[in-house]
Structure 1
Amino acid sequence: MPRGPRHKGGIDTNRKGKFDPNDENQVKHTKIGKVWDLYQERQPELAKVPFSARLNLERYLGLYDSLPFVWRMLKDIGSIRACWLYLGLYLAVQLALSLIPAVELWYSGQLLKIVGIAVEQRTVDKNLLISVALSRVACSIAELFLQHSNRIISQPLNARIKQYYTVHMFNVLARLDVPTFDDPLVQRQLEQAFPTSSRQSVIWRTVAGVVNMGSTTVMLVSQLSVLLNVLRDQQDGPLIAFLSFSHSFFLTGSSNRSLFTRVWAATTHNADFIKLSGLRKAAADSAHRKEIVAGGMWEYMYSEYQRCIHALGEDATEFFDAYEMFNQDRFPSFASIIRRPLHQLPQIVFTLRAVQYPASIPISLASLNLITSTATSFSHTLSRLFEQTGSISDNFTTIRKMYEAINLANRIPDGTVPYPENHQSLKMGMSIEFRNVSFKYPDSNSYALRNVSFKIARGQLCVILGQNGSGKSTVLKLIARLYDPSEGQILVDGQDLKTLRLADLRRAMAILFQDYTHFPLSIRENIALGDPGHSDDIDRVTQAATLGGASEFIERLEDGYDTYLDRPVRDHYSGLPEGTMDLFGRAVSFGKIRGMGEMKSNESTTLSGGQMQRIALSRTFMRSLLSESSVGLLLFDEPSASLDPTAEHDLFGRLQLLRGQKTMIFSSHRFGNLTRNADMILYMHDSVIVEEGSHEDLLKARGEYARIWNLQAQAFL
């Protein structure tokens, strides 16, 4: 199977050079108004080709780069059940449709002959005329049925292709690790590879585009052949036909001035435009509404928006609008100028012919009408052919990006060593050791951890304390291998963390992060995702919800465990606002329909922060119930941040019961009963561990831990 270009972090490493806006030899700079700077990569390979930019050759040559991926696409389509049968029928119908205009043109030629005979002999063959007329009608009806057949065949073909590739797309989106998925370049690559639309998949659009381009070519060739055959006995007919068609070939020269180069960039450093855009987004985003209203900010924002608009004038536009206006100011191209007289020449030749041979005016007039109508159709078809070629080039590029995304490698490499050797050992917990570990988050120059070393023995309870941003959560993320350390080594049961199989390692852990999430699924499924292998075990879900402190309020909800916190599918209503009058004066109300079936769950269910956190806790309990022996490490990042003191006390009691002899690590900024029972406390400040030991040891040391304990701990005893 052909392989695509190698990638590192989502960037094509086979490119010939780096796109450097400051390199005038490789990049062309264009200033568009006051705001935008456009940088386009020059193509030295095409510099010596006349009209290469205007003919958009680079876009068409880009088809070659994508051919290996298109071949892979065809093989994948061939593996889909019954696709070749549907595709064969689709090709046959498209071929028939492409030949109908030529057949209709041939019958028009027969009508032209009937006119010629009538002029010369003053007689009409009525049987031939009726036969030709009925044949023309039959062609129209056949075209209608073929178009309908085309739609019937294309729908299941598109659906099967779309379903096949939807699975691949979901696989890519689901399997990417955190540093890879969070990379903005990868995000942009995924957006380009898997564009959101649409009834039609890009694969089907490409297949249909190639077939349509082939059928369009057949249509053009067949029409030209028939027309020349019809006019070969007409005096000056071929000349008038040539002149009528000649202007069509200059369509490419007058095409819109798009961004021809495949590599280009547009940016702005205009402070007023940047501020204007920021003000517009802030005013439209509901997340900022409370502060705007409470802080009385709107008048300042409005005056600043007005100032920016006045300063920029007509240049206060987005890039593509500015580029379109920029192109409108350019002088017309040579091709668009020459098309004008070419369009008039057939009429001039016909007039000269009529003056020279007045008796031939009727037949010449009929010929001219046939030629001009065919030329008009030809021009539209030829223009559509060029558009289809460009569209196919874009689709081929998207297919290449899609297959490159499918092959996108995670940045956290998988280990090869199975873990653990003996699953029964997990009942006694897991040991964790950090050796001089330092870490920086991607695109950050500051350390989140600096030279951190500690060791947690099997079965110990460890509490990591510190202010927000001190590095507590980072320690847990490194243990779960969401990221790899920049320096140093992490050991699990004495083995290098990087050597262990990721699936085995994460199966042995139960984790709740501070920035927990809720999935757009039912509450039952949100909890069950803690252990997908037992998602159908209703009793287990209920037990996990009880341990997480969520069962009581869940059971009070109208739909209980089937409640959606944020229903992913919205119901649709009329555009008329509720309470207004319709055309016949009746009040519009959706109250009854909202109570029907699924529509009663249309709006999201509002829960408090503490209730949402209890659902997240229940998901963690789902994975680490007492009967479960496959989990040896429990990680909790600020598990009581949204809980009141009573709920927090109950939670810690359940966690102690859950723990058994397993290793448990907490991160928290609170001091209390949990820290007093900890086997080890790590106190962090500014990305380093400043104190380490048991509660009694740290109190005796009279350091920062003891000082904050005396200030805070009593409120949580």
Structure 2
Amino acid sequence: MARGRWGKKSSRKGVFDPNDADRIKHTRIGVWDVYEEKNPETQHIPIGARNWERYLEMRRDLPYVWTMLRDIGSIRDCWALLAVYTLLELIGSLIPAASLWFKGQLVHIVQAAVETRSVDKVLLTQVTAGAILAKMVALIVSTSRTRISESLGNRIRQYYSVHLFKANARLDVPTFEDEAIQRQLEDVSNINGQSVAWSTLQSMYALASILIQVVSQASVLLRVLKGQPDGVLLATISAAHSLSEFLHYQRTSPWNGVWAATTRNSDYIKLQGLKRVIVDVSHRKEFVSDNMLSYTLRLFRELTDRLGEDARDFKEVFSHRAFKQRLTLLSLMKLPFGDLPQVVFALRAVQHPASIPVSLASLNLITSTTASFSAKLYKIFRETSAIADAVSSVRKLYEIIEVPNKVPDGTIPFPEDEQKIKHGVSIEFRNVSFKYPGTDEYALRDVSFKLEAGQLCVIVGVNGSGKSTILKLIVRLYDPEEGQILLHGKDIRTLKLTDLREAISVLFQDYTHFPLSIRDNIALGDPTHANDDARVALAAKLGGSDEFIGRLPDGMDTYLDRPVRDHYSQLPEGTKTVFGRAVDYSFVRNAGGISSVSATGLSGGQMQRLAVSRTFMRSVVSEDSKVGLLLFDEPSASLDPAAEHDLFARLRELRGSKTMLFSSHRFGNLTRHADLILYMDRSKIVESGTHEGLLKHQGEYARIWMLQAQAFL
């Protein structure tokens, strides 16, 4: 995402039109399409240097670095690329010392000219040519190193993206909601927009390079200072001055102007959507309860393999773009002029030895060299602290994959008879009590009831009475603190979690919609049949969402929340839309950039019908479905009375002989058909029975029933 002044809104009149070929230059970089005005204004933005931190705990984390190096070595072609990269780093580290040596030779030529009144023209030519050649080699090495770095970084990022996806996806709800785990996941996601592993390697290379430069330049500098009057004193003063200046130094980075970037690659968009699915807390309950791990992990691997090195986010593309045209003939031709002042000074010293003392040349060399040398000394400390941070992140990267879930897996397969489950699942709560993590109040207190296989149970009560919690405990998003929950007479804590959740279809009150297409949102209701378009279409019809889906321009391919943002900067103020999406300038104030709005504008009722369609995909559509228990938590909350009546009728018709628990704060036709009604208040079951029985009892259920009935009289 663009940061800082990149997202600045321009005050210039007009409209930015990416399709205007006369004014706009189009560039394809990986999966990204970048559109730039052909004559953009160039501005500079300051980028502050990073402060150094403690690094004394590196030794503890080094074993994880060795593990990281072994894993990187298993990546295709990485060892070969690392060997070439290492060689380039070594050459690049020695070039500053070579340049310093050439400058020292120029000083000696001047000294000899003053003393002998003659100049060794051959030696002067050789030294000058050597200095220019060193500059050219430095540029070639730097550019080649950057390009290899891109390839290495992409390979390593791709490898560890699967590692991180698995680390996120395997966590259960209470573990994933833990703030400490969230911080750890954030720490290992990236460093400065790059893979933690590659950033660590780069920090190690940077430190090694600086050490080589310091050692090699120090040996050359000592030879230069030898015999120079007050050379050591001048070097010390220059170093102290340059170090103080370096602490306040800021570098600038160009690349600004009027531009916009988007991606239309469906694989990349889906890949980012899958990342959002496993990262956002709001998706965790349905992800876990619907057993999406195997399918989404397989799909993620397929997409990363298909995209390969093109699967770079825009921040990476933005960072590397400046290096693409760095090595040009013009840049090589301009390099000799960098040393021209030194050559001219040497010639002037030869022509006028009496008026231009040699000490001036020595002073110039000493001050400039010690400034560079002292800056590198400071950089050693900075890079060492950066390595400390990076190595710590590597440890967290490998520790996160071993974090134990708070809901332990069982060992007993479920069900023992797959045919029997088609006739429902018996459920029993025995004195169950539960508190949500981090709270002191009971969400359930001493709850007991029994539901036979194939029966319909409706749980009613006011909001916050504990209805939803019962459903969450059945699917083992959490475990009760007291009591037992039995399925077919077996404690659910002894059952294999995958089997348990495969036997249950659940729609939560706080349902979520994944940042994927409508088709994928419905299909993920049954990951084993996610590629069956006929099943998806039938599920949409049964859920009542097919009608409004057909009216959307992109139909089933519509994204409810597009997971990939567009990027742009300096757009003229008349620009209201880019790439068919509205421009959101408020992002400038919030985060320093601009992004587009991607909402679909669906109503709450339409979104709820999509959620119901996903449930039908899992529980009803599949003939070979292993689902025997249906859990519905307020599925009609956003529906109008007609749609609610239609949904209830469809549920009764299509559930067959399956067991169903239905929670609601509204009483209606469904309660009349219930085999068991549980009325809850303040985390307890206060009444239970059939509709007729509870009305005769004249208790709280009857009172609320009459109040709601009077609203329609």
Match of 2:659 in 1: 663
The correspondence of residues 181-580 of structure 1 with structure 2, limited to 5 A, is 181-195=176-190, 197-198=192-193, 200-232=194-226, 234=227, 236=229, 239-240=232-233, 243-244=236-237, 247=240, 362-573=357-568, 575-577=570-572, 579=574
After superposition, give the CA deviation of every residue in 1:402-438 in whole Å (9 maximum; x if it has no partner).
2222222211111111111111111111111111100
Report the Cα offset of residue 97 of structure 1: 0.8
Match of 1:693 in 2: 689
Quickly say closer, same or farther: Cα 1:378–1:439, change in 2 above 3 A.
same
Q: Which amino acid aligns with 1:540?
A: R
Quickly say closer, same or farther: Cα 1:591–1:204, change in 2 above 3 A.
closer
Secondary structure of 1:624's counterpart equals helix
Secondary structure of 1:451's counterpart equals strand
Report the Cα offset of residue 393 of structure 1: 1.3
- How far apart are the structure 1 equivalents of 2:579 and 2:366? 63
After superposition, give the CA deviation of every residue in 1:278-318 in whole Å (9 maximum; x if it has no partner).
xxxxxxxxxxxxxxxxxxxxxxxxxxxxxxxxxxxxxxxxx
Contact 2:620/2:654 (8 A) holds in 1: yes
Secondary structure of 1:435's counterpart equals strand
- How far apart are the structure 2 equivalents of 1:415 and 1:675? 34
Residue range with higher mean Cα deviation, 112-121 or 608-617: 112-121
Quickly say closer, same or farther: Cα 1:432–1:406, change in 2 above 3 A.
same
- How far apart are the structure 2 equivalents of 1:118 and 1:696? 117
Contact 1:98/1:215 (8 A) holds in 2: yes
Report the Cα offset of residue 629 of structure 1: 3.5
Contact 1:670/1:713 (8 A) holds in 2: no
Residue range with higher mean Cα deviation, 464-473 or 638-647: 638-647
Match of 1:605 in 2: 600
Contact 1:244/1:371 (8 A) holds in 2: no
Residue range with higher mean Cα deviation, 568-577 or 665-674: 568-577
- How far apart are the structure 2 equivalents of 1:397 and 1:695? 61
Report the Cα offset of residue 577 of structure 1: 4.9
- How far apart are the structure 2 equivalents of 1:593 and 1:565? 15
Report the Cα offset of residue 589 of structure 1: 6.5
Quickly say closer, same or farther: Cα 1:664–1:222, change in 2 above 3 A.
same
Quickly say closer, same or farther: Cα 1:612–1:436, change in 2 above 3 A.
same
The alignment status of 1:651 with 2:647, answered yes or no, reads yes
Secondary structure of 2:464's counterpart equals coil
Among 90, 97, 107, the residue aligned to 1:95: 90
Secondary structure of 1:684's counterpart equals strand
Contact 1:430/1:662 (8 A) holds in 2: yes
Q: Which amino acid aligns with 1:689?
A: I
Quickly say closer, same or farther: Cα 1:255–1:401, change in 2 above 3 A.
farther
After superposition, give the CA deviation of every residue in 1:175-207 in whole Å (9 maximum; x if it has no partner).
211111112222222222324752x22322211
Report the Cα offset of residue 401 of structure 1: 2.2
Among 626, 631, 636, the residue aligned to 1:640: 636
Secondary structure of 2:462's counterpart equals coil
Report the Cα offset of residue 227 of structure 1: 2.3
Report the Cα offset of residue 107 of structure 1: 1.5
Match of 2:674 in 1: 678
Report the Cα offset of residue 367 of structure 1: 2.5
Report the Cα offset of residue 400 of structure 1: 2.0
Q: Which amino acid aligns with 1:164?
A: Y
TM-score by length of structure 2 reads 0.72
Match of 2:626 in 1: 630
Quickly say closer, same or farther: Cα 1:572–1:254, change in 2 above 3 A.
closer
Contact 1:251/1:383 (8 A) holds in 2: no
- How far apart are the structure 2 equivalents of 1:566 and 1:246? 55
Report the Cα offset of residue 533 of structure 1: 1.2
Contact 2:189/2:195 (8 A) holds in 1: no
After superposition, give the CA deviation of every residue in 1:601-659 in whole Å (9 maximum; x if it has no partner).
96321111111111000000000125244100000001111111211111111111211
Relative CO higher for 1 or 2, CA cutoff 8 Å, sep ≥ 6?
A: 2
The alignment status of 1:127 with 2:122, answered yes or no, reads yes
- How far apart are the structure 1 equivalents of 2:675 and 2:174? 33
After superposition, give the CA deviation of every residue in 1:542-564 in whole Å (9 maximum; x if it has no partner).
11111111111111212111111
Secondary structure of 2:119's counterpart equals coil
Number of equivalent positions: 546
Q: Which amino acid aligns with 1:169?
A: L
Match of 1:702 in 2: 698
Among 694, 698, 712, the residue aligned to 2:708: 712
Report the Cα offset of residue 250 of structure 1: 8.1
TM-score by length of structure 1 reads 0.72
Q: Which amino acid aligns with 1:91?
A: T
- How far apart are the structure 1 equivalents of 2:630 and 2:170? 23
After superposition, give the CA deviation of every residue in 1:38-68 in whole Å (9 maximum; x if it has no partner).
xxxxxxxxxxxxxxxxxx9981312222212
After superposition, give the CA deviation of every residue in 1:476-524 in whole Å (9 maximum; x if it has no partner).
0000100000111111111111011111100111100111111111111
Report the Cα offset of residue 223 of structure 1: 0.9
Q: Which amino acid aligns with 1:62?
A: E
Quickly say closer, same or farther: Cα 1:238–1:573, change in 2 above 3 A.
closer
Contact 1:248/1:382 (8 A) holds in 2: no
The alignment status of 1:116 with 2:85, answered yes or no, reads no
After superposition, give the CA deviation of every residue in 1:237-284 in whole Å (9 maximum; x if it has no partner).
66447645774898799899xxxxxxxxxxxxxxxxxxxxxxxxxxxx
Report the Cα offset of residue 127 of structure 1: 1.1
Q: Which amino acid aligns with 2:379?
A: R
Contact 2:633/2:664 (8 A) holds in 1: yes
> Which of the pair has more CA radius of gyration?
1
Q: Which amino acid aligns with 1:217?
A: L
Match of 1:77 in 2: 72
After superposition, give the CA deviation of every residue in 1:122-165 in whole Å (9 maximum; x if it has no partner).
11111111111111111111111111111111000011111111
Quickly say closer, same or farther: Cα 1:92–1:477, change in 2 above 3 A.
same
- How far apart are the structure 1 equivalents of 2:243 and 2:131? 32
Report the Cα offset of residue 593 of structure 1: 6.0
Report the Cα offset of residue 535 of structure 1: 1.1
- How far apart are the structure 2 equivalents of 1:590 and 1:712? 47
Contact 1:252/1:386 (8 A) holds in 2: no
After superposition, give the CA deviation of every residue in 1:99-139 in whole Å (9 maximum; x if it has no partner).
11111121222212211211111111111111111111111
Q: Which amino acid aligns with 2:357?
A: P
Contact 1:671/1:716 (8 A) holds in 2: no
Contact 1:518/1:616 (8 A) holds in 2: yes
Secondary structure of 2:217's counterpart equals helix
Among 45, 58, 64, the residue aligned to 1:63: 58
